[in-house]
Amino acid sequence: MKIKKNLEPIISGISAAIVIGMLAFLTLETSAGVWLMFSFGATVFIVFVLYELETAQPKNIFFGHLISILVGIIFNETIGLSFYSLGLSVGIAVMLMVYFKVMHPPAASNPLVALFMDLSFDFILFPVITGSVLIILLSILINKIILKRNYPKKFF
């Protein structure tokens, strides 16, 4: 049974809360490491509200976050925090996401996070890869099973 249109915003909001809540639980209440980062809030909005867009597809989520955090960490490790590293890192992350066709708007903030939080390469596994994979898996389950949506349109 398909969810009624007037209930979709409620179910989408609850779904986003569940996914972020799980990531927050893993981060704050277990010894499993850091699973949550700021840009994931916008990511769950996209996968539960704008799920039909190319930017909401698993490939874009995973590689968009991965590319942009890599750029931010490389800038942090080589140049450090400055007005030009902040601007250039975001610009390069956007350029690479477009070039590799893995555009995911929330990921464009990852270089800022990497520079302001002085992050190193260990941040890539936890939370970027693990958090992205969990978001992708949960969004597929919730969109397909609960919301009866055709998501994802394509994986890779």
d(CA 139, CA 46): 10
Question: What pLDDT does 155 receive?
Answer: 73
| In the chain, % of residues over pLDDT 90 | 90
Host domain of residue 112: 5-146
Decide if 155 is inside a domain: no
**What are the percentages of helix, strand and coil residues in the chain, rounded to 5?**
75, 0, 25
DSSP conformation class of 51: T
In a domain, 156, yes or no: no
Tens of pLDDT, residue by residue over 55-87, are: 999 999 999 999 999 999 999 999 999 999 999
The domain total for the chain is 1
Distances in Å between the Cα of 113 and the Cα atoms of 18, 38, 52, 92, 128 are 23, 8, 27, 15, 12
Inside any domain, residue 92 = yes
Residue 116 has pLDDT above 70, yes or no: yes
Give the pair of three-digit tokens for residue 57.
């597809």
